[in-house]
Amino acid sequence: MRPYIHINFACSLDGKIALEGGIPYKFSNILDLQRVHKLRSESDAILVGINTINNDDPKLVVNPKYFESSNIPDAIVLDSKLRINASARIFNYKRKVVIITGIGTPDRPLPENSVAEIIIRRCNSPRPDMECLMRNINEMGYTKVLIEGGKSVLTSFINSEFWDEITIFYSPVFVGDKGISMMEGIDKVIKTKLGDVEKLGDGFLLTIKR
Protein backbone atom coordinates (compact mmCIF):
# COMPACT_ATOMS: atom_id res chain seq x y z
CA MET A 1 0.00 0.00 0.00
CA ARG A 2 1.37 3.41 -0.90
CA PRO A 3 1.68 6.20 1.69
CA TYR A 4 -0.93 8.93 2.13
CA ILE A 5 0.21 11.80 -0.08
CA HIS A 6 -0.71 15.29 1.13
CA ILE A 7 0.17 18.25 -1.10
CA ASN A 8 0.39 21.60 0.67
CA PHE A 9 1.37 25.06 -0.51
CA ALA A 10 0.57 28.73 -0.08
CA CYS A 11 -0.19 31.17 -2.88
CA SER A 12 -1.64 34.50 -3.95
CA LEU A 13 -5.20 35.13 -5.10
CA ASP A 14 -3.92 34.88 -8.68
CA GLY A 15 -2.41 31.44 -8.02
CA LYS A 16 1.28 32.39 -7.77
CA ILE A 17 3.63 30.63 -5.35
CA ALA A 18 6.60 33.02 -5.68
CA LEU A 19 7.48 36.41 -7.12
CA GLU A 20 9.16 37.11 -10.46
CA GLY A 21 12.41 35.15 -10.82
CA GLY A 22 11.35 32.70 -8.09
CA ILE A 23 11.90 35.16 -5.26
CA PRO A 24 10.05 33.74 -2.23
CA TYR A 25 7.12 35.67 -0.76
CA LYS A 26 5.64 35.09 2.71
CA PHE A 27 2.09 34.11 1.76
CA SER A 28 1.42 32.21 5.00
CA ASN A 29 0.22 34.07 8.08
CA ILE A 30 0.88 32.88 11.63
CA LEU A 31 -2.21 30.66 11.72
CA ASP A 32 -1.19 28.98 8.49
CA LEU A 33 2.39 28.48 9.72
CA GLN A 34 1.03 26.82 12.88
CA ARG A 35 -1.10 24.53 10.70
CA VAL A 36 1.78 23.69 8.33
CA HIS A 37 4.21 22.90 11.13
CA LYS A 38 1.63 20.64 12.81
CA LEU A 39 1.16 18.93 9.44
CA ARG A 40 4.92 18.48 9.15
CA SER A 41 5.04 16.96 12.65
CA GLU A 42 2.48 14.37 11.53
CA SER A 43 4.44 13.44 8.37
CA ASP A 44 7.18 10.84 7.95
CA ALA A 45 8.84 12.82 5.17
CA ILE A 46 8.61 16.11 3.29
CA LEU A 47 9.26 16.03 -0.46
CA VAL A 48 10.38 18.99 -2.62
CA GLY A 49 12.07 19.61 -5.97
CA ILE A 50 15.71 20.58 -6.33
CA ASN A 51 14.95 24.17 -7.36
CA THR A 52 13.13 24.77 -4.07
CA ILE A 53 16.17 23.49 -2.16
CA ASN A 54 18.70 25.44 -4.20
CA ASN A 55 16.64 28.68 -4.39
CA ASP A 56 14.91 28.87 -1.01
CA ASP A 57 17.12 26.63 1.16
CA PRO A 58 14.27 25.52 3.47
CA LYS A 59 15.08 23.53 6.62
CA LEU A 60 11.98 21.31 6.24
CA VAL A 61 11.66 20.77 9.99
CA VAL A 62 9.01 21.47 12.62
CA ASN A 63 9.75 24.90 14.07
CA PRO A 64 8.83 25.03 17.81
CA LYS A 65 7.89 28.68 17.27
CA TYR A 66 4.84 27.39 15.41
CA PHE A 67 4.30 23.87 16.76
CA GLU A 68 6.01 21.83 19.50
CA SER A 69 7.14 18.39 18.36
CA SER A 70 10.21 16.19 18.67
CA ASN A 71 9.60 14.71 15.21
CA ILE A 72 12.08 15.61 12.48
CA PRO A 73 10.55 14.38 9.23
CA ASP A 74 12.90 12.92 6.63
CA ALA A 75 13.52 15.07 3.55
CA ILE A 76 13.09 13.76 0.00
CA VAL A 77 14.50 15.75 -2.91
CA LEU A 78 13.83 15.15 -6.62
CA ASP A 79 17.16 15.96 -8.24
CA SER A 80 17.84 14.31 -11.64
CA LYS A 81 21.41 15.60 -12.00
CA LEU A 82 22.55 15.76 -8.36
CA ARG A 83 22.66 19.53 -8.45
CA ILE A 84 21.93 19.79 -4.74
CA ASN A 85 23.86 22.43 -2.85
CA ALA A 86 26.14 20.51 -0.45
CA SER A 87 25.58 23.16 2.22
CA ALA A 88 21.79 23.03 2.02
CA ARG A 89 20.19 23.42 5.45
CA ILE A 90 18.22 20.15 5.15
CA PHE A 91 21.51 18.32 5.88
CA ASN A 92 21.83 19.95 9.31
CA TYR A 93 19.38 17.67 11.15
CA LYS A 94 19.47 14.08 12.39
CA ARG A 95 17.21 12.45 9.83
CA LYS A 96 17.36 10.79 6.44
CA VAL A 97 17.80 12.96 3.38
CA VAL A 98 16.72 10.88 0.39
CA ILE A 99 17.82 12.22 -2.98
CA ILE A 100 16.03 10.65 -5.93
CA THR A 101 18.15 11.07 -9.02
CA GLY A 102 18.31 9.93 -12.66
CA ILE A 103 20.25 7.29 -14.55
CA GLY A 104 23.86 8.05 -15.43
CA THR A 105 24.26 11.02 -13.13
CA PRO A 106 27.87 11.00 -11.99
CA ASP A 107 28.39 10.87 -8.22
CA ARG A 108 29.56 14.10 -6.72
CA PRO A 109 30.75 15.02 -3.26
CA LEU A 110 27.99 15.54 -0.74
CA PRO A 111 28.60 16.55 2.87
CA GLU A 112 30.55 13.70 4.48
CA ASN A 113 30.17 14.71 8.10
CA SER A 114 26.55 15.64 7.83
CA VAL A 115 24.40 14.77 10.83
CA ALA A 116 21.81 13.62 8.32
CA GLU A 117 21.99 10.17 6.76
CA ILE A 118 22.19 10.80 3.01
CA ILE A 119 20.57 8.18 0.81
CA ILE A 120 20.82 8.37 -2.99
CA ARG A 121 18.29 6.40 -5.00
CA ARG A 122 18.54 6.17 -8.78
CA CYS A 123 15.79 5.78 -11.32
CA ASN A 124 16.26 4.13 -14.73
CA SER A 125 15.38 7.30 -16.63
CA PRO A 126 17.19 10.63 -16.95
CA ARG A 127 14.50 12.25 -14.77
CA PRO A 128 12.79 10.30 -11.98
CA ASP A 129 9.28 9.44 -13.16
CA MET A 130 6.34 9.15 -10.79
CA GLU A 131 6.29 5.33 -10.79
CA CYS A 132 9.95 5.15 -9.80
CA LEU A 133 9.51 7.89 -7.24
CA MET A 134 6.53 6.16 -5.62
CA ARG A 135 8.34 2.79 -5.65
CA ASN A 136 11.22 4.38 -3.76
CA ILE A 137 8.91 6.11 -1.27
CA ASN A 138 7.11 2.79 -0.65
CA GLU A 139 10.41 0.98 -0.14
CA MET A 140 11.42 3.56 2.47
CA GLY A 141 8.37 2.47 4.49
CA TYR A 142 6.77 5.90 4.78
CA THR A 143 3.06 6.08 5.61
CA LYS A 144 2.48 9.82 5.21
CA VAL A 145 4.43 12.10 2.88
CA LEU A 146 3.95 15.85 2.62
CA ILE A 147 4.62 17.43 -0.79
CA GLU A 148 5.64 21.09 -0.46
CA GLY A 149 6.54 22.17 -4.02
CA GLY A 150 7.67 23.87 -6.08
CA LYS A 151 5.74 24.37 -9.29
CA SER A 152 7.18 21.42 -11.28
CA VAL A 153 6.78 18.96 -8.43
CA LEU A 154 3.21 20.11 -7.72
CA THR A 155 2.43 19.65 -11.42
CA SER A 156 3.97 16.14 -11.54
CA PHE A 157 1.94 14.99 -8.53
CA ILE A 158 -1.35 16.56 -9.60
CA ASN A 159 -0.97 15.06 -13.11
CA SER A 160 -0.48 11.64 -11.52
CA GLU A 161 -2.92 9.52 -9.56
CA PHE A 162 -0.53 9.56 -6.60
CA TRP A 163 -2.14 12.06 -4.27
CA ASP A 164 -4.88 11.98 -1.66
CA GLU A 165 -5.34 15.51 -0.37
CA ILE A 166 -4.36 19.05 -1.34
CA THR A 167 -4.43 22.04 1.00
CA ILE A 168 -3.88 25.49 -0.47
CA PHE A 169 -3.58 28.60 1.69
CA TYR A 170 -4.64 31.70 -0.25
CA SER A 171 -3.16 34.99 0.91
CA PRO A 172 -5.14 38.18 0.10
CA VAL A 173 -2.60 39.50 -2.40
CA PHE A 174 -2.23 39.60 -6.18
CA VAL A 175 1.30 38.99 -7.40
CA GLY A 176 0.80 39.59 -11.12
CA ASP A 177 1.65 37.72 -14.29
CA LYS A 178 5.40 37.66 -13.69
CA GLY A 179 4.99 35.60 -10.52
CA ILE A 180 5.59 31.83 -10.54
CA SER A 181 2.35 29.91 -11.09
CA MET A 182 1.33 27.14 -8.68
CA MET A 183 1.51 24.65 -11.57
CA GLU A 184 2.22 24.56 -15.28
CA GLY A 185 1.67 21.66 -17.66
CA ILE A 186 -1.48 20.01 -16.30
CA ASP A 187 -2.27 17.79 -19.29
CA LYS A 188 -5.90 16.78 -18.75
CA VAL A 189 -9.10 17.64 -16.91
CA ILE A 190 -8.73 16.45 -13.33
CA LYS A 191 -11.91 16.37 -11.28
CA THR A 192 -11.53 16.64 -7.51
CA LYS A 193 -13.78 16.69 -4.46
CA LEU A 194 -14.15 19.86 -2.45
CA GLY A 195 -13.35 19.42 1.23
CA ASP A 196 -13.45 22.38 3.64
CA VAL A 197 -13.08 26.06 2.90
CA GLU A 198 -11.93 27.78 6.06
CA LYS A 199 -11.09 31.39 6.88
CA LEU A 200 -7.65 31.50 8.47
CA GLY A 201 -6.88 35.00 9.74
CA ASP A 202 -6.56 37.29 6.73
CA GLY A 203 -6.50 34.39 4.25
CA PHE A 204 -8.37 31.18 3.56
CA LEU A 205 -7.57 27.51 3.40
CA LEU A 206 -9.00 25.30 0.68
CA THR A 207 -8.98 21.52 1.12
CA ILE A 208 -9.40 19.26 -1.91
CA LYS A 209 -9.67 15.47 -1.88
CA ARG A 210 -9.31 12.98 -4.71
Among 158, 180, 203, 205, binds ligand NAP (CB under 6 A): 180
Query: According to the binding rule CB under 6 A, does residue 40 interact with ligand NAP?
Result: no
φ, ψ for residue 99, nearest 5 deg: -110, 120
Helices assigned H by DSSP within the chain: 30-41, 50-56, 130-139, 151-159
Q: How far apart (Å, rounded) are the C-alpha atoms in residues 157 and 159?
A: 5
Residue 28 near residue 148, CB atoms below 8 Å: no
Q: How far apart (Å, rounded) are the C-alpha atoms in residues 154 and 147?
A: 8
Letter string b/e over residues 20-58, b meaning 16 or more CB atoms within 10 A of that residue's CB: eebeebebbbebbbbbbbebbbbbbbbbbbbbbbebbeb
Among 3, 39, 47, 51, binds ligand NAP (CB under 6 A): 51
Query: According to the binding rule CB under 6 A, does residue 17 interact with ligand NAP?
Result: yes
Residues 155-174 that bind ligand NAP (CB under 6 A): 156
Among 46, 62, 78, 145, binds ligand NAP (CB under 6 A): 78
Nearest alpha-carbon partner for 129 in 97, 98, 157? 157
| Number of amino acids touching ligand NAP (CB under 6 A) | 30
Select from 86-94, 139-147, 148-156, 191-199 the region that touches ligand NAP (CB under 6 A).
Answer: 148-156
Residues 86-115 that bind ligand NAP (CB under 6 A): none
Find the farthest-apart pair of alpha carbons in the chain and give their distance in angstroms, rounded: 48
Select from 88-96, 114-122, 147-155, 191-199 the region that touches ligand NAP (CB under 6 A).
Answer: 147-155
CB of 164 to ligand NAP, least distance (A): 18
Residues 116-145 that bind ligand NAP (CB under 6 A): 127-128
Enumerate binding residues for ligand NAP (CB under 6 A): 9-11, 17-18, 22, 24, 27, 48-52, 55-56, 78-81, 83, 127-128, 148-153, 156, 180
